[in-house]
Amino acid sequence: MSNVPEQIRCPSCGGAQEMQAGEHYECRFCLAPFTYRHAQEAENRQIAEIKAWVEQRIGSQGQTGDGGIDASSRAYLFRTNLLPSLQTAHDRALEAAFGFEQFPLLPSVRPSEADTRNPLLQRRDEVLTLRELRARLASPDVQTFAVTEDDRGKIAAMDHRLEEIVGLSNAAHAAMQGTSEGFAAARHNLEALLAAGELDPDVADRYRALARFASLMERALASSTLSGAALAPEADAIATALNDVATRLERQDRAALGDSLAAIAARKEANRAAEFGRMVRSYDAIVRRADIGFVTFIEDTLAILGQAAADDGGGELFESCAGAFRALRGEVPARVHESFDWARPLAEGRRKGKWLRVVGLGFLGLTEEIAELEEMFVPFWLVEAGGQVWLVDAARAVDTPAFPLEGSWKDLGVSLGQAVPVRKQRGLIMPTVTATRARQLVQDALRAKGAHNTRLSEPTLAMVPAAKARLRTARGKERTVLSCLADRLQLRPDSVAGLAVTRRLQERFQ
């Protein structure tokens, strides 16, 4: 029989590794690098330390199996000399990780989403020392004194709890790397916990859903070409499963604090899975270049959108941008008011020195000409509430953020009432207000009017016409004139920056 071990344990987290031909390993659970020699030395040292610890408490007779000690004596020594120390160390370990249940285990696709307040991450060095306590619990030198079923059950219960804490810490730590390898390691930890059993059914369902989420992220980050249409439904199903778990954990008959905290975490994880679905759908809609992978798309889009993307916690802004791009390209019908007949006459009316030109004077070059006229769309949200349709500025581009389409605005409501293909591509001021925020603005406006508990529809993106005219004198002096809906809405000067953001996204991805 060969003396070569079939597996070797990571000296960092204690995770069992499959044997391989090479000397160098990377732990499949915590990603720590180590060598075979290092792992063997650590294991031999650990075995020696456990033997010394047992001998210190029960004497040298315990080092040779039963040492001639009868079963009742061994049971007595275990309960009086070994179990109290093991139980104390176990309880202190739980104190170090207290409250970890409330924190989501996996981050979203956003690099800033990892919550380092999680004690599994914040106190990770302490968590990693639990490998020594687990080795002690599993050691034959300790097990030989646990002769009763009750004593063996106590050891097993302590080990299962410690295994869970170490595995979850490994999963959270590995996923924080934000790489395909990191999410693969997170998946390995969750699958190992599920394989070990001894989990509450609702907790097991949560870990099962998270293992699927880790697998989804692993595939997305490893792929150079990604299909959002293929991955998004899976993300939605994971979000539904996690919300279902949270609902069950919130049941009245589950009074444990840990269950309530885990329900909070499961809700956050469900939101992150749903956000991932929005992100991959947005990738499909925005990216038209084969050389841009999903990771590059996320990083570059976050950089281009800046603070607006940072403020959006659910990926709704990505979804809004994606919908607008698809509409501009004519791929889907849109709620659009596409009449720009007013733009040039309005710019002509704003020019200075027109009468001087008529009489043949130039007034020393001060007469203005239209150097450039640019037509663009301003995005708005349409929200139905209480029998009215409200228009909400989606780009923070006008002075009036939300108002009902009634009275003098009724004609605009009619023109935006039916989705039609966009006839001509134009620039778009980038939306920076999410659908959720649009609903809130309408609710606030209704409450200010004394209307409460009004049902609101899901916001629909609409586009209304705006224009920017650049006027220039013969001496080269220039100024800009802005108008939205023929001056029915006052367009803010800084909103033009949102037009540049859209162009940057189009230039980068299309």
Q: Do 320 and 371 belong together in one domain?
A: no
Q: Do 377 and 364 belong together in one domain?
A: yes
Q: Do 361 and 505 belong together in one domain?
A: yes
| Continuous H helices in 390-495 | 410-415, 435-448
Amino acid letter at 424?
Answer: K
Q: Do 247 and 137 belong together in one domain?
A: no
Q: Do 37 and 53 belong together in one domain?
A: yes
Whether 310 shows a pLDDT value over 80: the answer reads no
DSSP output for 234-273: HHHHHHHHHHHHHHHHT-TT---HHHHHHHHHHHHHHHHH
More reliable by pLDDT, 309 or 426: 426
pLDDT of residue 358: 52
Q: Do the Cβ atoms of 399 and 347 come closer than 8 Å?
A: no
Q: Do 355 and 502 belong together in one domain?
A: yes
Percent of the chain residues topping a pLDDT of 70: 92
Average pLDDT of the residues in 222-250: 92
Percent of the chain residues topping a pLDDT of 90: 62
Q: Do 219 and 231 belong together in one domain?
A: yes
Domain hosting residue 214, numbered range:
179-332
pLDDT of residue 98: 86
More reliable by pLDDT, 116 or 183: 183
Q: Do 135 and 39 belong together in one domain?
A: yes
CA distance 452 to 344: 44
Q: What is the pLDDT of residues 274-306, one digit of tens each?
A: 999 999 999 999 998 888 888 889 889 888 888
Q: Do 30 and 79 belong together in one domain?
A: yes
- State the pLDDT confidence band at 224, using cuts at 50, 70 and 90: confident
Q: What is the pLDDT of residues 182-199, one digit of tens each?
A: 999 999 999 999 999 889
Domain end (from 332, 347, 381): 332
Q: Do 164 and 242 belong together in one domain?
A: no
pLDDT of residue 111: 60
Whether 143 shows a pLDDT value over 50: the answer reads yes
Domain end (from 128, 155, 175): 175
Q: Do the Cβ atoms of 383 and 459 come closer than 8 Å?
A: yes
Q: Would you state the structure tokens that stand for residue 493, as one six-digit string?
A: 């000067």
Q: Do 257 and 375 belong together in one domain?
A: no
* Exposed e or buried b per residue across 141-173, where buried means at least 16 C-beta atoms within 10 angstroms of its C-beta: bbebbbbeeebeebbeebbebbbbbbbbbbbbb
pLDDT of residue 223: 82
Mean pLDDT of the chain: 88
Average pLDDT of the residues in 414-423: 91
Q: Do the Cβ atoms of 429 and 312 come closer than 8 Å?
A: no
User: Is residue 105 included in any domain, yes or no?
Assistant: no
Strands (E), 309-367: 334-336
pLDDT of residue 71: 85
CA distance 239 to 43: 41
Q: What is the pLDDT of residues 426-443, one digit of tens each?
A: 999 999 999 999 999 999
Average pLDDT of the residues in 364-382: 86
Q: What is the pLDDT of residues 388-413, one digit of tens each?
A: 999 999 999 998 889 999 999 999 99
Domain end (from 309, 332, 355): 332
Average pLDDT of the residues in 138-162: 93
User: Is residue 101 included in any domain, yes or no?
Assistant: no
Structural domain count of the chain:
3
User: Is residue 110 included in any domain, yes or no?
Assistant: no
pLDDT of residue 64: 45
